[in-house]
Amino acid sequence: MAEPSWDEIFGGRPQKPEDSTQQPAGPEPVSEEFPTARLSDPYAVAAAQANAAQAQAAREAVGTAGGQPLTRRELREAEVRANGGGPSDPSPPAPRRRRRWGGLIALLVVVVVVLGGGAVAWFGFHDKVCKVLTFCQESVDYAGSGNGQKATVVIQSGDIGSDVAKELQRAGVTKTYQAAYAILIKTNQSFQPGSYQLQKQMSAKAALAALADPKNRIVHTAVIREGITAAQAYSQLAAATGRPVSEFQAAAANYQALGVPSTFPSIEGFLFPATYQFDPGTTAQQALQVLVTTMQKHLAADGVAPADDLKVLTMASIVQREAGSVPDMGKVARVFQNRLDAGMLLQSDATVAYGTGRTDHVTTTGSERSDSKNLYNTYVHAGLPVGPIALPGDDAIKATLHPTPGPWLYFVAVNLKTGETVFSTTAAEHDAAVKKWQAWCRQSPENMAYCN
């Protein structure tokens, strides 16, 4: 089959390539029917012919609308739609990628400079900026009522707002000192001294509200020291549990119900000195029961038979009050045991003082030592007193059960500050030691305060 000619396909002949040695003969001729198509470009001429045909078909199809002729504008719009949105223009030139990348790089440099300058300004002038920017001010404080982690805050007597703010930050409750202090200087809030259980990472507002709530105050720890009396222990227990002293006095009056033997004249001596933790709501009877039970356990652990409880605790309480130090307890116990074995009076000032109710004194008067009505007066009554005179600790109990071997019959503390004690075998040695103690008392008003 013969191939179609250029005229049959494109309606014209291809132009011969011009000789590169010849000069151009003027503007390139274009098609008279299609002025936008060059005759040398057969593809452009063919595309123009196709577009013209589509436009003509569109005019014939929509030449009238509803039997009415179209306006020029409507005809132009129809022609545009028939041409696929517009006349076929030559393809636009390719974008200049180098210029686009250059713009992006320049923009990136600007961003880096701005961010870098902002970082320098932030870290260099953070405190000053935070004074005027609200979002920055919020960063010095936590939000909410805590993360569930317990934290203990201790408010001392005399603490002011700044002290409380520092303590909150130290305990990890608030994020910064400023967060709480800024509120305190406005509200002038006051606080009850004590320990409080809060949470870590609380907002300053929530933390200060928690400190004002009595429910958050920790009041269940009681420290019962060796050598104090049962009456003094009631005060410590009352402070720990929040119950009045009268409730402890009433519960102690029925001491046999707590397990104290009926041979004891009172609960004195049967409350074991230690540090105790009580749950909120603990009653006076429950608290005393804990101390009595603890003493029973220690006596059993030391091998004390229940029938010997009164004798052991009475002697141990005297040792606890008379000894100047723990190392001397064994010697003090030996002195009293030697005197008992020899049929001598114990002659303990501590027992006399307990009977008079003046337990804050270490010395007694002549009239007090001669008072036979005082059942605790070991200057008059032979043997042990009728019962304990204090709360003995484990060291005193062990010293009573295992006294240090020795012949001593006397002892006296010659330095009440250090507890230095002289142990003597004869009365003459003891009298010399007593004079040494009296001389120490006269050395200064401070020393005399100890002696009185």
Task: Provide the 8-state DSSP code for 256.
Answer: G
pLDDT tens-digit series, residues 335-362: 999 999 999 999 999 999 999 998 877 7
pLDDT score, position 169: 95
Residue 28, token pair as written in the block: 């390139």
CB-based contact 271:288 (threshold 8 Å):
yes
∠306-309-315 over CA atoms, to 5°? 160
Q: How high is the pLDDT of residue 121?
A: 53
Tokens 């723990």 map to which residue? 326
Give the model's pLDDT for residue 68: 53
**Mean pLDDT for the chain overall:** 82
DSSP string, 341-398: HTT-----HHHHHHHHT-TT-S---HHHHT-TT-TT-TTTS-SS-SS-SS---HHHHH
Output the pLDDT for position 65. Answer: 46
Distance, first Cα to last Cα, the chain: 145
The encoded tokens of residue 154 equal: 């201790």
Residue 24's nearest CA partner among 13, 14, 15 is: 15
Distance, C-alpha 342 to centroid of its chain: 61
**Residue ranges per structural domain of the chain:** 30-82, 140-218, 221-307, 317-451
pLDDT on residue 254: 97
Is 315 in contact with 383 (CB distance < 8 Å)?
A: no
Architecture of domain 140-218: 2-Layer Sandwich (3.30)
Rg, C-alpha atoms of the chain: 53
In the predicted model, residues of the chain with pLDDT beneath 50 are: 1-2, 6-14, 16-25, 64-67, 86-91, 120, 122-123, 133-134, 137
Token pair 């008379």: residue: 322
